[in-house]
Amino acid sequence: MLTALGDGSLLADKTGKTPPAVVALHGWMRTGADFADIVAGQDAVAVHFAGMGVTPEPHEAWGSEQYADNLADAIRPFGPVVIVAHSFGGRVVVHLAAKYPELVSGIVLTGVPLVRLTAAPKPKLGFRIIRSLAKAKIIPASALEKQRDKHGSADYRAASGVMREIFVRVVNEKYDDQLARIAVPVRMVWGELDTSAPADAGLAASGMIANSTYRVVPGAGHLMDGDLRVAVREELQKLIAEVAK
């Protein structure tokens, strides 16, 4: 059942009773529907982030911290909660847990790009030249945008307007300070073959959190299906039992 949270600015799929004990946070341009099987049987809400699913876009280019602020306002009436998050949702929850610790009792993370172990690949020379010319206003900004459309990632090309600005902002964020400030128990579940958030980077992020465990699911990739979905649900159920003690 679709429900409005907080002042109505954030929408979510609701299961079970109110208040929810679990909040699920989806990946980039996904929806709360990704968590239907994972939170089944729980008192939970699976959020639809602003600009994704059925929630309207923000009016400006937010970073993951602003998404966390928006989420904090929405869940403050019933926190603290256990949060299960995938990919982009994990970027949001590390800010939430660091900035609003009173709202979070535990976290399950999967496939979240939190640590970069290698330097980002340098753009091709031709693109760098066009970018410099556009910055100097020698060529129009539209010429640079055409090159970005040609060479950008699939997620970049699929986004437009403020959502494209958000994507660019978020992929350049770092989370070291936030990870070090997380005090609640964190259970990290990673697909062995995840290429969007490689397993070795997930392990490195786990080492930066005071109370975390790390589990690799053989043969699984980035999306929450098959064995990865089962493993995330298992870790969520164990964490709910743990924080309830």
State the Rg of the chain over Cα.
Answer: 19
Task: Kindly tell me if the per-residue pLDDT of 149 is higher than 80.
Answer: no
Look at the pTM and tell me if it is higher than 0.75: yes
pLDDT tens per residue, range 56-89: 999 999 999 999 999 999 999 997 999 999 999 9
Dihedral-angle region of residue 16 (phi above 0 means left; psi in -120 to 50 means alpha; beta otherwise): left
Burial class (CB in 10 A: 0-12, 13-18, 19+), 245: exposed
Q: Does residue 19 have a cis peptide bond before it, meaning omega lies within 30 degrees of 0?
A: yes
pLDDT tens, position by position, 198-217? 999 999 999 999 999 999 99
Instruction: Evaluate whether 84 touches 108 at the Cβ level (below 8 Å).
Output: yes
pLDDT digits (tens, 9 = 90+) for 29-42: 999 999 999 999 99
Query: 97 near 85, Cβ under 8 Å?
Result: no
Q: Are strands 44-48 and 10-15 parallel, antiparallel or unpaired?
A: antiparallel
Residue 142 in this model has a pLDDT that exceeds 90: no
Three-state DSSP class for residue 16: coil
**DSSP 8-class letter at 182:** -
Size of the chain, expressed as the number of residues it contains:
245
Write down the H helix ranges in the chain: 64-75, 88-99, 125-135, 141-151, 154-158, 161-171, 176-181, 199-206, 226-244
Q: How confident is the model at residue 245 (pLDDT cuts 50, 70, 90)?
A: confident
Domain boundaries, the chain: 2-115+175-244, 125-167
CA distance 158 to 94: 26
> Is the pLDDT score of 122 beyond 80?
no
CA atoms within 13 Å, Cβ hemisphere of 23: 34
Q: What is the pLDDT of residue 144?
A: 65
| Structure tokens that stand for 153 in this block | 């990632």
pLDDT above 80: residue 107: yes
- CATH second-level architecture of 2-115+175-244? 3-Layer(aba) Sandwich (3.40)
CA neighbor of 110 nearest in space, from 52, 30, 176: 30
Give how far Cα 89 sits from Cα of 1, 71, 83, 99, Å.
21, 11, 10, 15
- The tokens describing 178, both together, are 């936030």
